[in-house]
Amino acid sequence: MSHEDLQAALERAGISADASEAHGLLCGALCTRADYGAEFYNTLGDIASIAEFVRQMKKAGSGATFYNVSFVGSKALADALGKEGVGVAISQVVPFPWGTGVPVVKEYQQLAKKAGFTDYNFSALEGFLSAKVLVEGLRRTGRSLTRERFISTMEAMGDVDLGGFYVGYSPTNRAGSKFVDLTIIGRQGRFLR
């Protein structure tokens, strides 16, 4: 959203504020206009705004469940919320990084551990899966790599099993995966399925 779009949205909502100051004010305005009896809220925004919204709503007595999309940054949101994050739900587009039931997750854990990285998380697993897709695309393209050949190869890739996690590409599908899971922030910021 551009500065101008945010300013227009603030004005439509009857909020007199400069868009550059809207970060904290927007949350306050949303809490002021929120239905405290709602059973749930789907939140979308930056980590600080979502965390502040959840804090203010809980402080006001809301018992709602708060749902977030994966790109909010699961660990960062859990860290920002601290103990107030317990019960906040976050959708995920990759398998549970601490699980052992999906072969590619086991591979991720083994390679991460070998490299001295044991702080498994959704973002790192997503990067690992993205790298596997990239390498597979490069392998299939072959030595005569050009941008056009690589794109053509990716679009012709079809369904690929990365080890229990499936992706598929075509000229009309560049999303790759249809995987979605739901996690909840538990005590000490740990994620639950």
Give the integer Cα–Cα distance in Å for 15 and 27: 11
Give the integer Cα–Cα distance in Å for 64 and 41: 7
Give the integer Cα–Cα distance in Å for 156 and 166: 15
Summarize pLDDT for 102-137 with one digit per residue, the tens. Answer: 999 999 999 999 999 999 999 999 999 999 999 999
Which pLDDT value is given to residue 140?
Answer: 96
Pairing of strands 181-185, 173-176: unpaired
Which pLDDT value is given to residue 157?
Answer: 92
Which pLDDT value is given to residue 104?
Answer: 98
Could you give the C-alpha distances from 7 to 10, 26, 66, 146, in angstroms and in order? 5, 11, 26, 43
* % of the chain with per-residue pLDDT over 70: 81
The predicted model gives 78-101 an average pLDDT of 95
Better-scored residue on pLDDT, 41 or 160: 160
Summarize pLDDT for 60-87 with one digit per residue, the tens. Answer: 888 889 999 888 889 999 999 999 999 9
pTM: 0.78
Contacts of 137 (CB under 8 A, 6+ apart): 150, 153, 154, 157
Summarize pLDDT for 2-41 with one digit per residue, the tens. Answer: 445 555 665 666 655 554 444 444 554 455 555 556 788 8
Give the integer Cα–Cα distance in Å for 132 and 165: 11
Give the integer Cα–Cα distance in Å for 164 and 64: 34
